[in-house]
Amino acid sequence: MISIGMSDRIIRIAVDTMGGDNAPDVLVEGSIVALYAYPDVRITLVGDKKKTEDSLNRFERSTPPGKSAEFLKSDTLSIRDRIRIVHADEVIEMSDSPAKAIRTKKNSSVVVANKLCRSGEEDAVISAGNTGAAMASSLLYMGRLKGVMRPAILGVLPSKKNTIAVLDLGANPDCKPEHLYQFGVMASIYVSNVLSYSNPRVGLLNIGEERTKGNELTTNAYGLFEKSDLNFIGNVEGRDVFEGIADVVVCDGFVGNVLLKVSESVFNLFTHKLKKKISDKFLTKAAAMILKPVFSEIKLQMTPEDYGGAQLLGVDGVSIICHGNSSPIAIKNAVRVARHLVLEEVNDQIKSEISKKSSERNE
C-alpha cells in the first residue's frame, strides 16, 4: 500500500468534474477531501464553471472527512486557495463515440483536462466519465511513452491472498505477443511501486497451465516472458486469478474486460442472493445485524474505492480512469494514487526498463 509522506514538490492534478454518474458533486467533494489529506496537492476542476462553483460552495462550507494530522499541523493555504476552476462548456456523454467525440467536442471537460497535462500545467488527469474518451484523449494529447507500443488499462482486484493487478482491461482488444510482454513489464514496475511488492509474480492468463495451451498469441507471448528476467510463473487459468497465485495477471483487452465485467457481476449476484436469504427469516435478519460490520469490511475489499480507479499505463503522463459511479472517497484515493505515481516518477522507470529490455532483446 502507498505510504509516501508529504513532499516539497507541488503536485498539480486536473479533475474532470463533468464525467460520471453524479457529476460534478462527487468529483468536487472528493477533490476537497483529497486536499485536506495532501497539503502538497493543488487541484484544477475542469468543467462547467457555474455548476462547479455551486458545488464547490456547498461542499466547502461543510467539514469533509479525512483531515490528516499533517494538514492540521501545517501552515498551508486554505482549501479554496489550492483549487482553481477551468471552464469547459462541453461534455462527452457515456453514449458518445469516443473517437468522434474527442474530435468534435474539443472543449469538453476531459479533453481540456488532458490538454492542461500536455502543456505542463498539470501533472495528472482524473476522469470518471466515458472510459473510451478518457483513454483516447490521454493517448492523443499526452502521447505514448518512448518505447511503449500500446498503453494498457491496469486495474487492481482482490484475491484470497493479496491485491492483484490485471491488464489490459479493455484498451487493446487485439494484441501481439510483444504487447503482452510490455504489459507485464509496466505492471511489474507499477506493482513494485504502488503496492510495494518485491519481485512481483507475473502470470499469463490462459485456458490451461501447460506451456503449449492457448492460442497463437498466448503461446508466443509465453516464449517472450520465459526468456525475460521478470518473475514469470507461467500460465494462470481463470479460476486461479482470485486465488492470488500471481501478483500481476496479463491478458489482451478483450479477455481482460470480460474478466472484469464477469467478476463485478458475480459479486452483485452474490450480494443479491445473500440479501434475499437474510430477509427470509427473523433469525437470519438478527444474525445479519450482528455481522453487519463484517459485511461492510468485505464490501470495501471487493470494490475499487481504495484504489480510486484504473491507471492508463504507457502514456506520457498520469491518467486515472474512475468508475462512473465512484464515491467521493474513490475520487480522493484516485488523487492519492496519481500523486504517488508523479512523486515516484513511475513513468521514468517504465521508459528506462522498456528501453533496457528492448536493447537486451536486440543483442
The predicted-structure confidence for 37-88, as pLDDT tens digits, reads as follows 999 999 999 999 999 999 998 887 655 554 444 444 444 468 888 999 999 9
State the pTM of this model.
0.86
Q: What is the pLDDT of residue 289?
A: 73
Reported confidence tier of residue 141, pLDDT bands at 50, 70, 90:
very high
Interval 207-213 mean pLDDT: 92
- CB environment 279-294: b (16+ within 10 A), e (fewer): eeeeeeeeebeeeeee
Range of 56-70, 207-221, 297-311 with top mean pLDDT: 207-221
Neighbours of 207 (CB within 10 A): 12
Lowest-pLDDT range of 198-212, 280-294, 313-327: 280-294
Beta bridge partners of 236: 205
Percent of the chain with pLDDT over 70: 87
Of 2-16, 41-55, 90-104, the range with the lowest mean pLDDT is: 2-16
Average pLDDT, the chain: 87
Average pLDDT over residues 307-332: 92
Look at strands 163-167 and 152-158 and give their pairing.
antiparallel
Strand order in 83-87's β-sheet? Answer: 83-87, 41-47, 11-16, 124-127, 318-321, 310-313, 152-158, 163-167, 248-250, 201-205, 231-236
Per-residue pLDDT, 135: 94
> How many CB atoms neighbour CB 174 within 10 A?
10
End-to-end alpha-carbon separation of the chain, Å?
Answer: 37
What percent of the chain clears pLDDT 90, i.e. is strictly above it? 67
Tell me the pLDDT band of 322, cut-offs 50, 70 and 90: very high
Mean pLDDT of 244-252: 96
Helix extents (H) in 196-345: 216-227, 253-278, 282-302, 328-343
Average pLDDT over residues 184-212: 94
Which of these ranges, 67-76, 168-177, 201-210, 315-324, has the smallest mean pLDDT? 67-76
Round to whole Å and give the CA distance between 228 and 246: 17
Which pLDDT score, from 0 to 100, does residue 160 have?
87
Checking if the pLDDT of 278 tops 90, the result is no
